[in-house]
Chains A and B, each alone.
Chain A
Amino acid sequence: MTPTVELSGLEVTLGGRRILHGLNGAAHSRAIGLLGPNGAGKSTLINTLLGFHPPSSGTAHVLGLDIRAQCNELRPLVGYMPENEAFIARSTGIHFVRYMAEISGLPPDLALERAHEAFVYVGLGEARYRPLGTYSLGMKQLVKLAQAIVHGPRLLILDEPTNGLDPPGRKRLIGLIREIRQASDTHLLLSSHLLHDVEQTCEEVIILREGRIAAILNLEEERRANRRFLEMDVIGAGATFTSALEALGCECAAFGATRLKVVLPPGVEIRDVYGLAAKQDVRIRRLNYRRDSLEDLFLNAMEQAGAPNGRI
């Protein structure tokens, strides 16, 4: 299967400063998240994949196409929603999106038709004839999405799409992105520093730190493999309760007489723990159940030390 994004020793130097340090790796999923703290190189990586920054060494393949040699073949397949404000001065929404569609190669009549469709799709149908200058920030984000999808690209690159949006706006945009992912075979590359957005929309994440790849994780696999934790405050639990839990296959750690941390193995459920506690007359006063979240994975990746070859 062709990877959606494949990085082969990709190195980018801008203004005399090396931003990306020989990145290596591949992401195969249809929806890929780019995660990293501010300044990690997410936007630079996106700009490089779009052909805006020439790599100083190495290369990358997007949808199997080399970003250096096959840039012309790649660009018609890509829809890009930039992070910053981007529009054409003194134009209405529909004029702007139609213009972008025509630049992408759609004939004028079809461009107009699809511009209307894109506007309705993103939920701005009523505002399409208004000048862009009068749009709110949330509307501008949606217009940027409309121009990115108007020409029906195979790969949608979204750079911080929820920046500056209020919670309802953010929810709506995330919903649209998920819908695009589910309704077609479109690939998605979403850059964000908001873990929740990525978690909700992506199947695989590339975590960047200081211009290096900290981790490439398949979220589904991670979720499946993730450990589940129980944190309990108990009264009356002795060594026998701990031994019984270990007999079920759990890993236990006791903190004092009342606090217990338990790692559940696959196949053991919380009800089994309750059953065991009832049998041994152990009173559970508090139980907190959680599993490794993207946040844990991200923080884990951030804490790990650096390593050569673009990987940490």
Chain B
Amino acid sequence: MLELEAVTKLYGSVIGVNDISLTLSRGAFGLVGPNGSGKSTMLNLITGQLRPTIGRVRVLGESPWNNANVLRQIGMCPEQDVLYPNVTGLEWVRYLLELRGWRGQAATVRATEMLELVGLGAAMQRRMGGYSRGMRQRAKLAQAIAHDPQLLILDEPFNGLDPVGRHAIADVLHQWIAKGRGLILASHVLHEVESVTDSFLLICHGRLLASGSIPEVKSLLAEVPNEISVRCDRPHELACLLVGEKTVDSVRIDDDGAALLLSTRNPAVIFARLPEWISEAGIRVHEMRCADDSLHSLFHSLLQIHRGHV
């Protein structure tokens, strides 16, 4: 579906994306990274709005730059939500369909169906200037899927949506994935990506940090210490007990002196023995937190590796 070969994009002396190589087969992928990490540049390269300074981009087997054949098979929902204020949602989606070759009545019917699918059926005859942000997001999604593309690219599609709207859009995307179509969903909010797909590309400072499913990326982190926070009444005593333990890499007390932070490569051993130590010493534990299996923890750990902190 997507192939990037040593792709670098420079804006003058500023690096947009840096030496990204990647091959994605058809499926759904979350493109995750903080703001300014290069997500939009990568999407612009994929949609043929930008040419790589170095390297090669192939989408559905062809270069997307000025390539109508590729663009015909791509649907894009950009991050920016400003639309023509004096045009109705129906007119706009129909217009974009007509530009893609749909004719009169068929375009109207299709636009109506898609707007109803995203929950804008009642508002499609209203001018978009009066739409809420969530309604504009829905209209953008409708135009992106209206021509039934092979690859759907969404940049921050959940922005401005209320929880009900997020759920509804996530449902639409699940149906999309179930049809076997390609999806790239860019977001800086990790749980949004997790709600749609468990495969992702993690990008930071223009570089691809990791790609694959959560278990695949976790395997990269086998040697990365997990951090466990224990909030208790006597953290210094607990620290003394843990220092002698071989599986513990480091122990420190947090700034307010109420919690102990320990780092370990083998959290399972610690979890097994911690209750025993606590009960023997009579320490009262108020709260215990550890890195979980969420995308957030993976993102955090990979960034630490990337920045050389680990």
Do A and B bind? no
